[in-house]
Structure 1
Amino acid sequence: MTDLAHVYWLGGGTGGGKSTISRRLADRFGLRRYDTDRVMSDHTARSSPGETPYLQHFLAMDMDERWANRSPEVMLDTFHWFRGEAFELIVEDLLSLPAERVVVEGFRLLPELVEPLLADRRQGVWLLPTPGFQRAAFEQRGSLWDIAGRTSAPERALGNLLERDRMFTERVTGQTDRLGLTGLVVDVGRTEDELADQVAELFGLT
């Protein structure tokens, strides 16, 4: 899609370092940065109920129903952002920005949705964190219990969330492999500088 030829897409599993790496790239190469996590509330408000059934169902549930009382498999298959709901609003936002280079990041950038928009396939990279890296990242941020701690069964909810996220990363890996896109495994021991350098090289920025 030539209208988005100036966009660099950085997707992948939760806790994979997308925000950190996108900030580093934006600072180093003078890119605008678009964080899809920060606009989730706005996109929820702008969404048409008839076109976002999974989102509407999610909004109607309490915290236990969302995170503690359902299996990780059900959580994965019914989570609205994992289903690509409201992805068109990301595209709408990007098209409304000035036509200058921008790095867009977030787990909502599913490979199968981004692939048709790539003018240059090098401009899409997906970070694929290992379970150990994910947990370490959440612990380092102090956010490990942010969601699970608001349920009546925190331990079970946390286990569900971590397993759901592991399976989501596995799903993203499968999509990148099937589509011939670039997936980058992120494991404990890799520094932020090393990861930023590698993503910049894959994007063709260096």
Structure 2
Amino acid sequence: MRDLRHVYWIGGAPGAGKSTISRRLAAQYGWHHYATDDTMRAHAARTTPASAPYLHAFLAMDMDERWVRRSPDVMLETFHWFRGEGFGLIVEDLLRLPPEPHVVVEGLRLLPHLVKPVAASGQAVWLLPTAEFRAAAIEGRSTPSFVCRTSDPERAARNLAERDRMFTDRLRDETERLGLRTVEVDTGMTEDDLFRQVTADFGL
């Protein structure tokens, strides 16, 4: 898409370093940083049950229904952002930005099959953590606040971790099928290593 040729895309699984690398790119090159996580609430408010049925079903659930009582498989298949709901709103926002400076957009909402038709060639990459990296990241981070608001935080955390593992596998399969660039993020990779790899993939 010609109108988005100034946009660089960094998708991937939760906790893979998307935000960190995007902020570094924005700081080093003077780009605009667009974090899709920061727009979730605003985008949800711009949807209707007809335009985003999975989102509105999720909003109607209590915390246990969201994170405890449903299996990780169901959580994966019905999570609205994983279904691509609201992606058009991301594109709308990006089209409103001026062509200069460039924009780096990042987040788990950047599904490969949705990004490929609108991204310029060589300007999209997905960060995919290995199983070891995911395990280390989970151990090293605090429990998300929404998990603590369930009746069974331990089960909710396990469900969430398994859902994210399956999402990572889905991203890996989809990027391979579509011929898109990925970076495997493992425990032996430093932040500088990851930054150099992404900049190389972007031809910077």
1:114 aligned partner: 115
Q: Is the 8 A contact 1:8 1:124 kept in 2?
A: yes
State the alpha-carbon separation in 1 of the partners of residues 141 and 88 from structure 2.
Answer: 30
- Between the aligned residues of both structures, percent identity stands at 62
Q: Is the 8 A contact 1:9 1:123 kept in 2?
A: yes
2:136 aligned partner: 136
Q: Is the 8 A contact 2:63 2:149 kept in 1?
A: yes
* Unaligned 5+ runs, structure 2: none
Q: Is the 8 A contact 1:123 1:203 kept in 2?
A: yes
State the alpha-carbon separation in 2 of the partners of residues 135 and 151 from structure 1.
Answer: 22
Q: TM-score with structure 2 length normalisation?
A: 0.96
SS at match of 1:112: helix
State the alpha-carbon separation in 2 of the partners of residues 65 and 131 from structure 1.
Answer: 27
Q: TM-score with structure 1 length normalisation?
A: 0.95
Q: Is the 8 A contact 2:183 2:197 kept in 1?
A: no
SS at match of 1:152: coil
Off by >4 Å, runs of 4+ in structure 1: none
State the alpha-carbon separation in 1 of the partners of residues 79 and 72 from structure 2.
Answer: 10
SS at match of 1:37: helix
SS at match of 1:188: coil
| Residues 146-196 of structure 1: per-residue CA shift (max 9 Å, x gap) | 232111011111110000000001001111000000011111121001101
Give the partner amino acid of 1:108. Answer: R
State the alpha-carbon separation in 1 of the partners of residues 131 and 118 from structure 2.
Answer: 29
1:194 aligned partner: 193
The within-5 A match list for 1:11-90 is 11-90=11-90
Query: Aligned in 2, Cα 1:165/1:51: closer, same or farther, shift over 3 Å?
Result: same
| Residues 7-57 of structure 1: per-residue CA shift (max 9 Å, x gap) | 000000111000001011111111110000000000000112211000010
CA-based RMSD: 1.1
Give the partner amino acid of 1:159. Answer: R
State the alpha-carbon separation in 1 of the partners of residues 153 and 92 from structure 2.
Answer: 37
State the alpha-carbon separation in 2 of the partners of residues 2 and 28 from structure 1.
Answer: 25
State the alpha-carbon separation in 1 of the partners of residues 34 and 57 from structure 2.
Answer: 27
State the alpha-carbon separation in 1 of the partners of residues 39 and 139 from structure 2.
Answer: 24
Shift of 1:140: 3.8
* Unaligned 5+ runs, structure 1: none
Deviating more after overlay: 73-82 vs 110-119: 110-119
State the alpha-carbon separation in 2 of the partners of residues 52 and 46 from structure 1.
Answer: 10
SS at match of 1:94: helix
State the alpha-carbon separation in 1 of the partners of residues 198 and 48 from structure 2.
Answer: 35
SS at match of 1:197: helix
1:158 aligned partner: 157
Query: Aligned in 2, Cα 1:138/1:32: closer, same or farther, shift over 3 Å?
Result: farther
State the alpha-carbon separation in 2 of the partners of residues 88 and 134 from structure 1.
Answer: 29
Query: Aligned in 2, Cα 1:81/1:97: closer, same or farther, shift over 3 Å?
Result: same
2:148 aligned partner: 149
1:171 aligns with 2:170: yes
Paired residues in the alignment total 203
